[in-house]
Amino acid sequence: MKSISRTVWILSIISLLTDTASEMLYPVMPIYLRTIGFSVLLIGILEGITEATAGLSKGYFGKLSDVTGKRVPFVQLGYSLSAVSKPMIAFFVNSVWIFFARTIDRLGKGIRTGARDAILSDEASTQTKGTVFGFHRSMDTLGAVIGPLFALIYLYFNKDDYTTLFYIAFIPGLFAIITSLFLKEKTVIKNSPQEKQRFLSFLNYWKESPAAYRKLVGGLLVFTLFNSSDVFLLLKVKESGLDDTSVIGVYIFYNLIYALFSFPIGIIADKIGLKATFISGLLIFSFVYFGMTFNNDFYSFLILFFLYGIYAAATEGISKAWISNISKQEDTATAIGTFAGFQSICTMLASSLTGFIWFHFGASVAFMTTAAVTFLVAIYFLIKIPKPE
């Protein structure tokens, strides 16, 4: 634990609190949206647009963080916006206002992510990136266990009372804001531009970035293009005949596995290599989506969501650690933000496309397509991407 600094601990606790709030709502979000009239297609569009907002803003604010040499203000503002967005959803049941509230939430994520990940990168060495990012991801995901577990208990005693949960979710979000006040700004190398920064000016980094960055991010984006929101996995469980308790239960189980394995897998990745770890995660992901096509019982879903947790632990933090290792220190937030910007476009298309395929051809076709493409992407990484130094 020597590689986990005070700053990493603070950021991890903030993420835990924020994820507790967000994930308290995530498993009930598709159910809630269906009760107020959203179709599967509209849910897909909503998730795509909100994730696009988060991703594009990650690019802009990541670049702005590098340009100004500031990190902490972006982290504090981003977490604050996400916190206040939670009760807004309870106030507004009109589809337009739901889109607005969800966008505010995702905008907050976009503002904070590049700066936060740059801080994490600066707190680690090249040899400990997997460990630091894995620890943060583990704490972050622990909130995704606590939040849904609370929601499960609450809904057990207050059946179908989804609205109150949106108000309760503000409480851990408020504690996250308070905790962020303990962060201290450190000296950062400024990456001063020659011209004023426009919203999409971060995209210029693609041309300026190392070839290794473009190869890596290119593969990640193809995968993202077919990796839709987890909402569709939850809908699959729900439409297989399981009740709300079971839906939330398997989601809690997935996040528990994700949280438990992120830190040790990060340590392992520093020893065996980020590339090998990431490819293993992709292969597991492909297997899970194939499995989702053919299984409909609770215990099969438990096995698949166990593996899905392993996949997430082997890819989420690892990909950011990998990117930060092949970019300059003064470009870290921009490099991660630029990836997130392109990723958001692919995510929007992925969720919308999955919603369309599901709506017209069924869940099996949607899941089989994702599984097949992911397997091909794993082969691409194995053959075309060099092992990180």
Residues 6+ apart with CB under 8 A from 120: 8, 11, 132, 133, 136, 320
Residue 335 to residues 106, 171, 350: CA-CA distances in angstroms? Answer: 19, 33, 22
Digit-by-digit pLDDT tens for the chain (389 residues) are 677 889 999 999 999 999 998 878 876 777 777 777 677 677 777 766 776 666 778 878 888 888 888 889 999 999 999 888 888 877 766 767 777 888 888 889 889 988 898 898 888 887 788 889 889 989 988 987 898 788 878 888 887 787 888 889 899 999 999 999 999 887 655 555 555 666 666 667 787 788 888 889 899 999 998 887 777 888 888 777 777 777 878 888 888 898 899 989 988 988 888 889 999 999 999 999 998 888 777 788 889 999 999 999 999 888 888 888 888 777 788 888 888 778 877 877 887 788 788 778 877 888 888 899 999 999 999 888 876 55
The fold adopted by the segment(s) 6-183+207-384 is: Growth Hormone; Chain: A; (1.20.1250)
Indicate the domain borders of the chain: 6-183+207-384
Burial code of 163-192, b = ≥16 C-beta within 10 A, e = fewer?
Answer: eebbebbbebbebbbebbeebeeeebeebe
Length of the chain counted residue by residue = 389
The residue behind tokens 């994702």 is 370
Closest CA to 7 of 139, 186, 144: 186
- CB neighbour class for 206 (10 Å; exposed up to 12, middle 13-18, buried from 19): middle
CA distance 118 to 130: 14
How far apart are the C-alpha atoms of 261 and 252, rounded to whole Å?
Answer: 14
Per-residue model confidence as pLDDT tens digits over 19-54: 998 878 876 777 777 777 677 677 777 766 776 666
Residues 258/261/263/264 CA torsion (nearest 10 deg):
-170
